[in-house]
């Protein structure tokens, strides 16, 4: 029998408090709860760079571990983690690969069954179009649609006003529509 605390019903903030007391099981529990979401977000924001996304996810949780004693939940832990991950991705763009802000690499073609070809083409076009968006627009769009965050949560992650988030999303959607229409016309 395992002795110790049970974490299945604990709130994230309670687990962070336990981490600050040196409880490694609490850290593993938070890692299990949020690592896939943080990694997936970083992967999409970094245009599919799996190695860098892994590094960002690891560094995100290391930073959580380091600041656990000073963490005061003004927002959800997920929002806090996404803010850290977003900032790390932006640092990556600025320091390591400044050229990524200009041209973005194409994704390799994937083999799909014939009956799913059209859907795969549409998905590929959408992904390529999203990659062409400026980083802030792409971030807001991914947080809203892939992570189902509300405007308030996005504003906290991005450290922007809600009206700025709304504006980013409107511009991102407009650019996506134009890009997808352009791609569709070129295809036909």
- Whether residues 47 and 96 share a domain: the answer is yes
Asked if residue 162 and residue 142 are part of one domain, the reply reads yes
Q: Which tokens hold the place of 113?
A: 């069954």
Tell whether 181 and 135 lie within a shared domain.
Answer: yes
117 in a domain, yes or no?
yes
Q: In the prediction, which pLDDT does 20 show?
A: 87
**129 and 144, same domain (yes or no):** yes
Query: What are the distances in angstroms from CA 147 to CA 39, 53, 74, 79?
Result: 12, 16, 19, 10
Pair 115, 40 in one domain: no
The reported pLDDT for the residue numbered 76 is 85
CB 168 within 8 A of CB 137: yes
Q: Which pLDDT score is estimated for 117? A: 54
Same domain flag for 115 and 51:
no
First to last CA, the chain: 64
Radius of gyration of the chain (CA): 19
Q: For the whole model, what pTM was predicted?
A: 0.65
Model pLDDT, residue 105:
43
Same domain (yes/no): 118, 37: no
Lowest mean pLDDT among 20-24, 45-49, 102-106, 183-187: 102-106
Tens digits of residue pLDDT in 13-67:
888 888 888 888 989 999 999 999 999 999 999 888 899 999 999 999 999 888 8
Q: Which domain holds residue 54?
A: 7-103
**CA 84 centroid distance within chain:** 10
Domain-located, residue 1: no
Q: Flag whether 40 is in a domain.
A: yes
Does 149 score more than 80 pLDDT?
yes
Q: What CATH number is attached to the domain comprising 91?
A: 1.10.1740.10
Question: Cα–Cα distance between 62 and 49 in angstroms, integer?
Answer: 20
* 17 lies in some domain: yes
**112 versus 85: which is more confidently predicted?**
85
Token pair listed for 66: 């380091």
Number of domains in the chain: 2
pLDDT tens-place string over residues 153-177: 999 999 999 999 999 999 999 998 8
Percent of the chain with pLDDT over 70: 77
Q: What is the DSSP letter of 95?
A: I
Given a cut of 70, whether residue 96 has pLDDT beyond it is: no
Percent of the chain with pLDDT strictly greater than 90: 34
| Residue 2 maps to a domain | no
């Amino acid at each position: 029998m395992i002795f110790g605390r049970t974490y299945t019903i604990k709130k994230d903030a309670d687990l962070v408090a336990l981490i600050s007391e040196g409880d490694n099981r609490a850290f593993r529990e938070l890692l299990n709860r949020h690592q896939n979401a943080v990694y997936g977000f970083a992967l999409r924001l970094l245009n599919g760079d799996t190695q860098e996304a892994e590094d960002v996810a690891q560094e995100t949780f290391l930073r959580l571990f380091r600041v656990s004693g000073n963490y005061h939940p003004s927002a959800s832990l997920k929002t806090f983690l996404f803010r850290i991950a977003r900032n790390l991705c932006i640092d990556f763009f600025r320091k390591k690969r400044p050229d990524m802000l200009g041209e973005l690499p194409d994704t390799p073609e994937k083999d799909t069954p014939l009956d799913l070809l059209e859907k795969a083409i549409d998905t590929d076009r959408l992904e390529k179009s999203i990659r062409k968006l400026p980083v802030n627009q792409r971030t807001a769009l991914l947080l809203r649609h892939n992570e189902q965050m509300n405007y308030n949560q996005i504003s906290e992650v991005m450290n922007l006003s809600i009206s700025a988030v709304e504006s980013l999303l409107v511009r991102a959607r407009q650019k996506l529509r134009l890009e997808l229409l352009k791609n569709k016309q070129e295809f036909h």
